[in-house]
Structure formats: C-alpha cells, structure tokens
C-alpha cells in the first residue's frame, strides 16, 4: 500500500521497473551509435564527396575552361588507351604466354567486346546519374583491376581481366557530350624493357586521372533529375533506332569505317615484326605517332568544311580519304614501309573526319538523351572494331597482309553505298528528297538544319529565367529545360495554345521579380 502511494505520488502510471532502460541496453545503444561505418560506406563517401569549388550551382554553372578541357582530354585519351596498349606488343605477348599469334590476337578482340558491353549497359546511365561520381568510380575500379594485368602469368586470366577493364573503360563516352572526340592513343615499348612496364605505366596514369577528376571535375547534374527506369532506358535506345533514320545511317557508316581501323592496327604489328621489316616493338609503337599528325588538321578541317557544309558531305570526304589510304597501304605495304605510313595517316584522318561529321548529324536528335544516342552510335562503331579485329586476324593468318587489307577496301565501299542511299535533307529512310545542296541552312547548327538547345551546364542568356523558375517552384523542371526539349530551346519556342499560357506566366514572373534583359542580351 505504501509502495503504491509512493509510486502514485511520483506521478508514475506503471510499475517502478517498467519503462526503465537497463545498463546492458544502454551499452548496446551506445555501441551502435559509436560504431564505425563500413569500409565500403567510407569509400562511397570519399568518392562522392565534392570539393566546394566543383559543386553545382544553377545560378552560376561551371565554365568549360581550357584547363578543364585539357583535363578531360587527358583523362579520356589515356583512359581509352587501355584498349590499345596491347596492339604493338602482341608479338611479345605471344612469346610471353607461349601461344601463336592468332591466339594472342584474341586479346584486342575481347577488349573491344568488353568496351561494347560497357557502352551498351553503362553509358546510358550517364542520362540518369551524376557523371562526376560515376566517372570517378569507374576510373578507380578500372585502375584497381588493372593491377591483375600487371602481375598475372596466365593468358586466360589476362584475357578475362582485360574484358572486365574494357567494360569499365567507357569514361570518355560519358564525357563526350562535354568535350567531343578525343585523340587516338599511343603505346610503345623500348626493346630493353618488359611488356609489363607498359601496363604498370597505365596503372599509375589511371590513379593520377582518378585523383585529378576527383579534385577538379565539376558536379554536373543529371539531365533527367526526375529519374528513369533503367530497363526502359535501354529499350528507348532501340526505339530511337526506329525513329531516326539519320542515327541508323550514322551507325552503319561508323560500323564499316571503324572496322578498317582495328583491322589495320592489329595486323600491322605482325607485318612489321616479320619479314622483310623485322622492326622492334618500339619502332612499331612509334607508328601510332603518325595518327597525331592528322589531329593537327582536325581544327582546320572543321572550320573550313564541317562548319560550312552538311555532315553527310564531310562523311563522304572522310570515306574517300580512308579509301585512298587503305588501297595504297594494302597493295604496297608488303614490299615498302611507305605504304603502311601513308595508310596510317590517311586512315586516321578519314576516320576522324567521318566520326566528327556523324556526331554532328546525330547531335540534335534528342538533347535529353544524348548519352543514349551516343551509346547507340558507339556500340555500332565498336561492333565494327570487333569485327574488324576478328576478320583481319583471320584473313591475315590465311592470306597475309593483302587479304586483310582487301577486307578494309570492301568495308569502305559498303560505307560509301550507305552514304549514297540517303541524302542530307531526306526525312525518310532512303532517297534524296530535299535536294542535293551541301551547304548548311543554319550556320549555327551542328546538323545544318536547326540550332540546338543549350546544354544543361551552359550559362543561360539571362539569370532572370532561373530566378523566375525558383519563384515559380519549378526548379526540377528547370533542369530539364536546360537540356532542351525535342532539339529546341524551351525559352525560344513558338508560343501558342497551352504553351503560350505557360510561357506568358513565366514572362510575367520574370517581369515582376527580376529586371528584364536588354535587347542585346535577348539577341
């Protein structure tokens, strides 16, 4: 009775022991609260952390400066070089693993297959995820897996790891919407050094790339902040191929053209390492420097030709340049080294010309799905590289240099047939509707037809638009507007019907909340 009264006096409605926390329970809770995060959680936090200067600010988007351009070019060039380090040392790898040339030539084939897989299943995520964390994660994973290539003595293990690293070596294609095409890679091996030194060098470079990207790559937002279903996103790539004839045409041309690239560079090693040349791996690797010479012509060619004429015209010129180089190299390379030198220069120049022009043609197709458009195009081109490597090795083993080179001649011929099947102004699948005019109708357009929307990281013509979107509570929609809709800038759409009401409301908000831009700013 006294206990109950005392308990009631204390204002408790439950027995004295009920509701109390035992010392053991408290200790467990404290342990949970002080428990250190797992190593994977800490790694995730480190990779996804963004330095303050790199964080996305919609009011002040990062400027794509020359240092950032150099960083992306360096990262993209040396990352994609992973696919080509083995080309000039295939004969050494054959001796190291004690297998015939035809066996070791499967390594570049497997790597190109892995790259195609990465293009198909990883690149579309660039339309969904923030590219900074995604790119840094891929580079770090690739560099860590690369250690296995540096130490293994087993050809099956080497081949398997090569495939895995090729899958994740797609970072240049994630940055392509920002920086365009990158330079071809270079690999060479001094005769007194081990082939593993090339791979150790690549390992160090990849960790340097990861550190530089982690420190300086801006945190660009997703072009689809509302989210997308991954499988529907993959399916949408196939849907694009049924909707856009220009994309299909570019993919087929890219398939045939790039097959000549790998057919040449893979079999070139065997030609130069044997009779009558017997060149060392260093000399063979130096042949890649020939491609650099064609790079210097790229800006001049772009200004004189690509900026003035429709993409298809530049594609045809590029195919013609490739054809000249392939014919000379194929039918003179077995007795004079001048043939492969000429082919290396003309093939790289023609391929670069064709690729840039094809990208210009497909750039404005679907601005909010540019990573998926790029995925469709690059999967086709790397399937071409895969076929070129396999066919070139097979034909070289059976008929030598002329047999493999003749395949390249036929591939360029097929590409030219596809070019002739559809004109630059034809809206359908086949024909030359719209005329034969090769000059662009809109000089400010990549495809020569209509001006594209500004990309989502570019500065807007006036800050008033962003302020209006914030005041209207449409920040999420604003990010999608920055990417554009159906190849047009939303702020410049023809206003009629329902769109007119929405645009008028936005203009009213701009008028009330921010100074109206001047006429010069609008223009």
Counting Cβ atoms within 10 Å, is residue 77 exposed (0-12), middle (13-18) or buried (19+)?
Answer: middle
Q: What is the DSSP string of 182-249?
A: -PPP-----TTS-THHHHHHHHHHHHHHHHHHHHH---PPPS-TT---HHHHHHHHHHHHHH-HHHHH
CATH class entry, domain 238-448: mainly alpha
Distance of CA 374 to the CA centre of its chain: 7
Closest CA to 352 of 382, 377, 303, 317: 317
Report pLDDT digits (tens) over 23-54.
555 555 555 555 677 787 887 788 778 888 78
Closest CA to 295 of 405, 171, 185: 185
3-state DSSP assignment of residue 488:
strand
Q: Which residues contact 470 (CB under 8 A, 6 or more apart)?
A: 478
Q: What is the DSSP string of 73-99?
A: HHHHHHHHGGGTTTGGGHHHHHHHHT-
Instruction: With beta carbons less than 8 A apart as the criterion, state whether 427 and 437 touch.
Output: no
Write down the pTM of the prediction.
Answer: 0.63
* pLDDT digits (tens), the chain, 523 positions: 444 444 444 444 444 444 454 555 555 555 555 567 778 788 778 877 888 878 877 777 777 677 777 787 778 777 888 888 887 788 888 888 888 877 888 888 888 888 888 888 888 887 777 778 888 888 899 999 999 999 998 999 999 999 999 999 888 777 765 543 333 335 444 444 566 777 787 778 788 888 888 887 877 666 666 666 778 888 888 899 999 999 999 999 999 999 999 899 889 988 988 888 888 877 887 787 787 777 777 777 777 777 788 889 999 999 999 999 999 999 999 899 999 999 999 998 899 889 888 988 887 788 777 778 888 998 899 889 889 988 998 899 888 999 999 999 999 999 999 999 999 989 899 999 888 888 887 766 677 676 544 444 444 344 433 443 433 343 334 333 333 333 333 333 333 444 444 444 444 443 434 333 333 333 3
Give the separation between CA 32 and CA 283, rounded to whole angstroms.
62
3-state DSSP assignment of residue 442:
coil
Closest CA to 349 of 382, 386, 302: 302
Give the separation between CA 323 and CA 341, rounded to whole angstroms.
14
- Residue 424 host element (H or E): none
Which tokens is 426 given? 């034809």
């Amino acid at each position: 009775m006294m206990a109950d009264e005392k308990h009631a006096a204390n204002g408790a409605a439950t027995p004295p022991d009920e509701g109390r926390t035992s010392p053991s329970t408290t200790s467990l809770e404290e342990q949970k609260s002080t428990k250190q995060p797992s190593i994977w959680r800490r790694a995730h936090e480190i990779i996804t952390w963004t330095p303050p200067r790199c964080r996305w600010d919609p009011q002040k988007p990062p400027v794509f400066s020359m240092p950032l351009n150099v960083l992306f070019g360096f990262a993209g060039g040396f990352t994609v070089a992973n696919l080509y380090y083995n080309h000039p040392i295939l004969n050494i790898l054959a001796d190291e693993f004690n297998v015939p040339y035809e066996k070791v030539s499967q390594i570049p084939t497997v790597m190109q297959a892995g790259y195609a897989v990465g293009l198909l299943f990883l690149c579309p995520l660039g339309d969904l995820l923030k590219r900074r964390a995604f790119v840094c994660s891929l580079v770090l994973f690739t560099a860590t897996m690369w250690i296995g290539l540096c130490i293994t003595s087993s050809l099956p293990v080497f081949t398997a790891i090569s495939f895995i690293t090729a899958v994740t070596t797609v970072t240049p294609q994630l940055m392509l919407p920002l920086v365009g095409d990158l330079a071809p890679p270079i690999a060479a091996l001094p005769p007194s050094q081990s082939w593993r030194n090339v791979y150790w060098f690549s390992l160090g470079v990849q960790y340097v790339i990861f550190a530089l990207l982690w420190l300086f790559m801006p945190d660009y937002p997703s072009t689809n902040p509302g989210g997308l279903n991954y499988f529907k996103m993959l399916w949408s790539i196939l849907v694009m191929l049924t909707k856009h004839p220009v994309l299909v045409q570019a993919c087929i041309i890219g398939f045939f053209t790039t097959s000549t690239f790998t057919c040449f560079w893979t079999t070139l090693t065997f030609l130069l390492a044997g009779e009558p040349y017997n060149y060392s791996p260093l000399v063979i690797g130096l042949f890649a420097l020939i491609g650099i010479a064609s790079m210097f012509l790229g800006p001049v060619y772009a200004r004189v030709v690509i900026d003035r004429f429709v993409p298809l015209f530049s594609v045809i010129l590029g195919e013609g340049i490739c054809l000249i180089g392939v014919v000379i190299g194929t039918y003179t390379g077995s007795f004079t080294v001048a043939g492969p030198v000429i082919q290396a220069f003309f093939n790289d120049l023609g391929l670069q010309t064709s690729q840039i022009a094809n990208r210009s043609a497909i750039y404005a197709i679907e601005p909010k799905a540019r990573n998926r458009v790029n995925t469709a195009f690059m999967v086709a081109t790397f399937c071409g590289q895969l076929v070129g490597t396999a066919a070139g090795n097979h034909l070289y083993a059976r008929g030598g240099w002329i047999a493999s080179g003749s395949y390249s001649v036929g591939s360029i011929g097929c590409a030219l047939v596809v070019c002739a099947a559809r004109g630059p102004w034809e809206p359908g699948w086949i024909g030359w509707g719209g005329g034969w005019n090769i000059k662009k109708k809109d000089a400010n357009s990549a495809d020569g037809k209509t001006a594209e929307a500004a990309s989502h990281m570019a500065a807007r013509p006036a800050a008033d638009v962003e302020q209006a979107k914030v005041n209207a509570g449409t920040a999420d929609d604003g990010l999608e507007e920055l990417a554009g809709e159906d190849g047009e800038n939303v702020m410049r759409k023809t206003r009629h019907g329902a769109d007119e009401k929405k645009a008028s409301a936005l203009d009213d908000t701009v008028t009330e909340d921010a100074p109206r831009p001047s006429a010069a700013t609008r223009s």
